[in-house]
Amino acid sequence: MTLAEEMARLGERARAASRVVGSAAPAAKTAALEELARLLEERADELLAVNARDVEAARARGLDAPRLDRLTLTPAILADMARACRHVAAMPDPVGALDSQWQRPNGLLVGKMRVPLGVIAMIYEARPNVTIDAAILCLKAGNAVILRGGSEAIQSNTALAQILQEALTKAGLPPDAAQLVTSTDHAAVTALCKLDRYIDVMIPRGGENLVRTVTEAATMPVLKHFKGVCHVFVDASADLDAAEEIVFNGKVQRPGVCNALECLLVHKDVAAAFLPRIARRLGGAGVEFRACAQSLPLLGPTAVPQREEDLGQEFHALVLAVRVVDSLDAALDHIARYGSQHTEVICTNDHAHAMRFVREADASMVGVNASTRFNDGGQLGLGAEIGISTSKLHAYGPMGVQELTTTKFMVLGQGQVRA
């Protein structure tokens, strides 16, 4: 059997399973997710040992630090995964819910009903926790999912997929509702991208090259997550103590993730007061600054002159671009030019500026006086996320259970015919 034929068989099984899970009782899906949480806790030591082998092999191949961080499972991460399973299990089931309903003059009742997307193919890189996050959200929303993780996590993903299928089977649901592509050949992704007769949506989650490759190859809709070029603008009226904490958290807590801060914009009126504080706090944590001409003398020994290519850059490291701007208008212009529609934040005590920024900054999450790191499904109350869409169709921002459904029209009549 060729690889293309193998992917087609997998897609065919997923399509059949999607019909079952799409009409499954909410109790069955809840049981599967609760069983999965139990298995994650029961087999934590086994999963950590398997993951350690992936990490050791990746380190030997020279995988960089940010990707090693995303690849590594810890007891805390496994506990979060189990907690996410239970959180999603306890959420209201969206399938069959009516978003709205109205009556026409002829007596017809018209409604919009939530329905699953069908079969979702999830293509992702180093993070094995995505295997669980993607699967639980897809299943809660009544979808079948095909999971294709990166080669560096193949042992971890295989172990996680096995317990996923165990949990489905115990709940009386088809194990084919969550299938893992075990081939690490890139041709497997290309083959999946052509299976529009079985797969309804592709969701790539990873580097920009992966997203572009999938988008260009796919014959079905793609929910895209491009670069996370996140900005914080410190306005002239900002509380500088709070802004310092927001900037530190955004850049230093986990510099390798998509919602990490990549560019700091500071109003010229507070630059002299604020930037030396940032130099001490972030520079002391190992951050290198790529500084504009105005900010360079204020940022200490870890600052280097900024190049044009430092703007609009997703560093995935302890590197921060810094620019002094003259006004809110200038900050919004910068974001419009260099942002990636991921996350934008303003630090300000000026209500009018805050509301204007919220309206005009084009991003999947816009924040006021809060870290960029909150653009995350779990942090926003979704339980987990399958990714953060930076395109506006059909979702914008973190995609949870609701975003993995669509609506169809439902019409209830009493014999009406069209005149």
For residues 217 and 234, state if they share a domain: no
Is residue 340 a contact partner of residue 225, using CB atoms and an 8 Å limit? no
**Domain end among 177, 200, 223:** 223
pLDDT digits (tens, 9 = 90+) for 254-303: 998 899 999 999 999 999 999 999 999 999 999 999 999 999 999 999 99
Flag whether 89 is in a domain: yes
Asked if 197 and 238 sit in the same domain, the reply is no
Domain boundary among 166, 201, 223: 223
pTM: 0.87
Quick one: angle between helices 75-90 and 26-42, nearest 10? 170
What CATH number did the domain enclosing 286 receive? 3.40.309.10
Task: Give residue 312's region: left, alpha or beta (phi > 0; psi -120 to 50).
Answer: left
Same domain, 250 and 202: no
- Whether residue 368 lies inside any domain: the answer is yes
Residues 120 and 234 in one domain: no
Within this chain, do residues 22 and 52 fall inside the same structural domain, yes or no?
Answer: yes
Percent of the chain at pLDDT > 90 equals: 90
Number of domains in the chain: 2
pLDDT of residue 86: 96
- Note the pLDDT tens digit of each residue in 161-199: 999 999 999 999 999 999 999 999 999 999 999 999 999
- CATH number of the domain to which 35 belongs: 3.40.605.10
Residues 39 and 188 in one domain: yes
List all residues 6 or more positions away from 356 whose beta carbon is below 8 Å from its beta carbon.
328
Same domain, 128 and 25: yes
> Are both 266 and 195 inside the same structural domain?
no
Q: Which residues contact 228 (CB under 8 A, 6 or more apart)?
A: 257, 258, 259, 260, 262, 314, 340, 342, 343, 388
Please check whether residues 80 and 200 belong to one and the same domain: yes
23 domain-assigned = yes
Q: Are residues 219 and 236 in the same domain?
A: no
Q: 124 lies in which domain range?
A: 3-223
Q: How far apart are CA 364 and CA 224, in angstroms?
A: 12
**Would you call 47 exposed, middle or buried from its count of C-beta atoms within 10 A (0-12, 13-18, 19+)?**
buried
Q: What is the largest CA-CA distance in the chain?
A: 79
Does residue 67 have a pLDDT over 90? no
pLDDT, average across residues 124-130: 90
Residues 57 and 121 in one domain: yes
Q: Cβ contacts of residue 197 below 8 Å, gap of 6+?
A: 11
Query: Within this chain, do residues 38 and 60 fall inside the same structural domain, yes or no?
Result: yes
Residue 1 pLDDT > 80: yes
Q: State the Cα–Cα distance between residues 130 and 90, nearest whole angstrom.
A: 20
